[in-house]
C-alpha cells in the first residue's frame, strides 16, 4: 500500500520544492509512497535517492489521453490507497479508482478540478475557510501547513563568492521573478538604503526588467540576481534581513523558512504573511507596494539588535510549535490513516 503523489508542473518554484521536501519527510516517517510527475531530472533524482518509485507522464492539456490511464496503472501497481494531487494540473489528471483522491491546494484555486475528490487539504487556514465558503463540505477539508527546517550541517554561503562585502547589511529576497513577488519594491527600497546589498534568489519572466530597474535606480552594483538556487539554507544563513514584499501571497513559506533559520523578516501585509506574522513580535509588516515603509522597517531591524533577536527567537518558537517537520508529518499521517493508509 502506498500514497501516490501527482505533480503536473515542470518548472522550479516554491510549491515544487516543497513537494519533494514533504515526500522525503514522509519517507523518513515510514510512509510508503510513489510519485507520478512531469519530467524534471533534478526532481526525479531526489525522489529516486529517497527510494520513491517515479513515473514520468505528460500531464498535458485537455486532449491528453495518456496521463490519466497511465497514472491509474501506476497506482494499481503501487497498491495505492491515496492519490494526492498537487495543484490543478495534477488534479485534472488524477484517475478514479479504489483509492481516495485528495487535492492539496496552496492557493485559491478553481474547485472545478477537484469535483468528485474525497478530501481537500489547504496549506493555510484562510484557504481552508475559503474552500468551505465555496460550498465544499467542511468535514472534507483539512488545514495542514508547510513545514520549515534548517539543516544544522549547512554553513552560510561565503559572501565573497558573490562579490558582496562581509560587513555590509545584506538583504535576501526569495521567490520567482514574477509581478506578484514584488522584487521591484525591494529594489526601490534598496535605493533608500545606501549601505545595504541585496541578493534575489529566483527565476522567472521579469529578470531582464528587474535588472533594468536596478540599473535605472543606480543600485545594480549592490544587487545579485542569483537565479534558481538549491542552497536556500546557505543563503538564509548568510543574510541579515529577509525582505518579502509580495503583493499576493496566500501562504508565505519564505516567512516560515526565515524563522527556521533565525533570520529577521520584513514582509508586506499580503494575505499569507499578515496571517502568519505578529507585527513587532516575530516579524515586521509593511503596506503592500510601499518601498519607503519597507526601507524604514529594514533600518529598524538593523538599528535595533535587541528587537531583531527577540523576533528571531519568537519565530523559531513558532516553527517548533506549529511548522516543524514532525508536527506537519504527523498531521499528514493522521489524514492518510483516515483513508486506510497510515
Tens digits of residue pLDDT in 228-270 = 998 999 999 999 999 999 999 988 899 999 999 999 999 999 9
Q: Where are the domains of the chain?
A: 2-147+324-338, 159-322
Cell 465558503 belongs to which residue? 133
Strand order in the sheet with 54-56: 54-56, 33-37, 2-7, 80-86, 100-105, 119-122, 141-143
Q: What's the pTM value of the predicted model, to 2 decimals?
A: 0.88
pLDDT value at 340 more than 80: no
Tallying the residues shown for the chain, one arrives at 342
Share of the chain above pLDDT 90, in %: 94
Angle at 13 between CA 170 and CA 318, to 5 degrees: 60
Asked if 127 contacts 206 with a C-beta cutoff of 8 angstroms, the reply is no
* pLDDT digit string, tens, across residues 310-338: 999 999 999 999 999 999 999 999 999 99
> Helix, strand or coil for residue 267?
strand
Asked if 36 contacts 44 with a C-beta cutoff of 8 angstroms, the reply is no
pLDDT value at 307 more than 90: yes
CATH 3.40.50.300 fits 2-147+324-338, yes or no: no
Look up residue 293 and give its three cell numbers.
515603509
* pLDDT digit string, tens, across residues 13-44: 888 999 999 999 999 999 999 999 999 999 99
Question: pLDDT tier at 342 (50, 70, 90 boundaries)?
Answer: very low
CATH architecture label of 159-322: 3-Layer(aba) Sandwich (3.40)
Asked whether this chain's domains 2-147+324-338 and 159-322 adopt the same fold, the reply is yes
Amino acid at each position: 500500500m502506498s500514497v501516490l503523489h501527482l505533480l503536473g508542473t515542470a518548472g522550479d518554484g516554491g510549491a515544487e520544492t516543497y513537494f519533494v521536501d514533504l515526500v522525503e519527510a514522509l519517507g523518513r516517517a515510514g510512509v510508503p509512497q510513489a510519485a507520478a510527475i512531469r519530467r524534471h531530472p533534478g526532481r526525479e533524482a531526489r525522489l529516486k535517492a529517497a527510494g520513491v518509485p517515479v513515473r514520468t507522464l505528460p500531464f498535458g492539456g485537455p486532449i491528453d489521453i495518456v496521463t490519466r490511464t497511465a497514472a491509474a496503472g501506476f497506482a494499481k501497481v503501487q497498491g495505492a490507497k491515496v492519490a494526492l494531487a498537487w495543484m490543478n494540473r495534477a488534479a485534472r489528471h488524477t484517475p478514479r479508482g479504489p483509492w481516495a483522491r485528495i487535492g492539496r491546494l496552496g492557493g485559491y484555486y478553481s474547485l472545478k478540478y477537484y469535483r468528485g475528490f474525497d478530501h481537500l487539504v489547504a496549506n493555510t487556514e484562510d484557504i481552508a475557510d475559503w474552500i468551505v465558503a465555496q460550498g465544499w463540505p467542511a468535514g472534507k477539508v483539512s488545514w495542514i501547513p508547510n513545514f520549515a527546517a534548517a539543516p544544522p550541517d549547512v554553513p552560510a554561503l561565503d559572501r565573497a563568492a558573490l562579490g558582496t562585502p562581509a560587513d555590509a547589511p545584506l538583504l535576501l529576497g526569495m521567490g520567482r521573478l514574477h509581478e506578484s513577488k514584488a522584487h521591484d519594491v525591494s529594489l526601490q527600497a534598496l535605493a533608500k538604503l545606501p549601505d545595504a546589498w541585496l541578493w534575489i534568489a529566483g527565476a522567472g519572466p521579469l529578470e531582464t526588467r528587474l535588472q533594468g530597474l536596478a540599473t535605472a535606480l543606480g543600485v545594480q552594483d549592490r544587487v545579485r540576481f542569483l537565479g534558481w538556487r538549491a542552497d536556500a539554507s546557505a543563503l538564509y544563513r548568510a543574510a541579515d534581513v529577509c525582505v518579502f514584499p509580495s503583493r499576493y501571497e496566500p501562504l508565505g513559506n519564505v516567512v516560515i523558512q526565515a524563522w527556521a533559520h533565525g533570520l529577521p523578516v520584513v514582509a508586506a501585509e499580503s494575505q499569507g504573511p499578515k496571517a502568519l506574522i505578529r507585527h513587532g513580535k516575530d516579524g515586521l509588516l509593511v503596506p503592500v507596494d510601499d518601498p519607503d515603509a519597507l526601507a524604514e522597517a529594514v533600518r529598524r531591524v538593523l538599528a535595533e539588535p535587541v528587537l531583531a533577536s527577540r523576533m528571531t527567537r519568537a519565530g523559531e518558537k513558532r516553527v517548533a510549535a506549529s511548522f516543524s517537520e514532525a508536527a506537519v508529518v504527523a498531521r499528514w499521517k493522521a489524514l492518510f490513516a483516515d483513508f486506510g493508509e497510515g
